[in-house]
């Protein structure tokens, strides 16, 4: 695998590269939330928006526990094409519910966009546009999303190097969007795809991003570990390693979640984790 060279930084990654050690950019969401500043930002909510009531209830709970962005998927990159009454996505209706729940509790929202034809629709409702891991190098999608003018969270594909990932971020910056947040969500290795390690969280990539780039980096401990028991330890490790935030699945009845029921945290577990993260943040000179 190619490493990031000085020539890359100068000629292929000029916008994404930091100008000197310690150069960091911040991403402002609606002038209320700053990502990449002194505060660690917690983005929490359901994997999939399931109903108006569900996302509103979750919004209240995560806000009370200290989250500052509400997450929720209305378009899901599901591995298999089949939908049932218990496995579903709501599309534009879900976007509305997410938006209304965010407004009701005073939280900006983040949601995934998979289809370049839907960029305008999604951008009407959400405050941050999420590019999923599987679409990290979908360059026409990156271009359209960049041009929508909203902050973008770019997940790392599970098979891509830091060089590839920064290359995808460079595409977004190149197309005129300066508000880019990186999100680590686990990588594959020969020994992954067991239930104990479907993906492996690359904690080391947090300081590596700091070394090469000025962009903020958050970690998704839910989609990377895929297993509830591993979510809190990895979230704690991410904040301890200097991540600017986490993106995490929370559900009132996790095992009944329409999508990813193995990984969501209950309200109780999320509240407990938030108390721990607040303490950990202090030890790395941050706050929540």
- Smallest gap from Cβ 263 to Mn ion, in A, equals 7
Residue 167 in tokens: 């290359």
User: Which residue, 13 or 257, has its beta carbon nearer to Mn ion?
Assistant: 257
User: Which residue, 214 or 264, has its beta carbon nearer to ligand PEP?
Assistant: 264
Does 254 contact ligand PEP by CB under 6 A? no
How far does the chain reach from its first CA to its final CA, in angstroms? 37
Phi–psi pair at 243, nearest 5 degrees: -65, 150
Residue 268 in tokens: 């109780």
Q: How many residues bind ligand PEP (CB under 6 A)?
A: 11
Does 220 contact ligand PEP by CB under 6 A? yes
From 60-68, 83-91, 129-137, 143-151, span contacting ligand PEP (CB under 6 A): 129-137
- Smallest gap from Cβ 81 to Mn ion, in A, equals 16
Half-sphere exposure of 146 (CA within 13 A, CB side): 19
User: Which residue, 221 or 286, has its beta carbon nearer to ligand PEP?
Assistant: 221
CA distances from 62 to 103, 118, 164, 211 (A): 14, 28, 33, 32
User: Which residue, 113 or 166, has its beta carbon nearer to ligand PEP?
Assistant: 113
User: Which residue, 89 or 260, has its beta carbon nearer to Mn ion?
Assistant: 260
Residue 101 in tokens: 């729940």
What track of x and - describes contact with ligand PEP for positions 142 through 181 (by CB under 6 A)?
-------------x--------------------------
Q: Which residues contact 47 (CB under 8 A, 6 or more apart)?
A: 72, 73, 76, 222, 249, 251, 257, 258, 259, 260, 263, 264
The answer to whether 172 and 204 have CB atoms below 8 angstroms apart is no
Q: How far apart are CA 84 and CA 134, in angstroms?
A: 23
Query: Nearest residue to ligand PEP, using CB?
Result: 132
Among 33, 133, 182, 206, binds ligand PEP (CB under 6 A): 133
What track of x and - describes contact with Mn ion for positions 29 through 48 (by CB under 5 A)?
------------------x-
- Smallest gap from Cβ 131 to ligand PEP, in A, equals 8
3-state secondary structure of 28: strand
Residue 270 in tokens: 């999320």
User: Could you list the residues that contact ligand PEP (CB under 6 A)?
Assistant: 47, 73, 77, 112, 132-134, 155, 185, 220, 223
């Amino acid at each position: 695998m190619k490493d990031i060279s000085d020539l890359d930084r100068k000629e292929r990654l000029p916008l994404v590269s930091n100008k000197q050690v310690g150069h960091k950019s911040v991403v402002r969401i609606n002038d209320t939330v700053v990502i990449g500043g002194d505060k660690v930002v917690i983005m929490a909510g359901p994997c999939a928006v399931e109903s108006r009531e569900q996302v509103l209830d979750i919004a209240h709970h995560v806000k009370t526990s200290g989250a500052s962005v509400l997450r929720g998927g209305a378009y899901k990159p599901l591995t298999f094409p089949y939908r049932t009454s218990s496995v579903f996505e709501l599309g534009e209706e879900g976007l509305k519910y997410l938006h209304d729940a965010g407004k009701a509790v005073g939280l900006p929202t983040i949601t995934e966009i998979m289809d370049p034809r839907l960029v305008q629709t999604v951008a009407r409702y959400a405050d941050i546009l999420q590019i999923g891991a599987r679409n990290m190098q979908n360059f026409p999608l990156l271009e359209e999303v960049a041009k929508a003018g909203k902050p973008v969270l770019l997940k790392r594909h599970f098979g891509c190097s830091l060089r590839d990932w920064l290359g995808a971020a460079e595409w977004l910056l190149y197309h005129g969007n300066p508000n880019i947040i990186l999100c680590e969500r686990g990588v594959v290795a020969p020994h992954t795809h067991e239930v104990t390690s479907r993906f492996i969280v690359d904690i080391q990539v947090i300081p590596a991003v700091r070394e090469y780039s000025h962009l903020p980096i958050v970690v998704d401990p839910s989609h990377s570990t895929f297993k509830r028991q591993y979510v809190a330890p990895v979230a704690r490790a991410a904040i301890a390693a200097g991540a600017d935030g986490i993106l995490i699945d929370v559900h009132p009845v996790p095992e009944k979640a329409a999508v990813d029921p193995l990984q969501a945290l209950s309200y109780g577990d999320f509240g407990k984790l938030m108390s721990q993260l607040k303490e950990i943040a202090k030890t790395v000179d941050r706050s929540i």
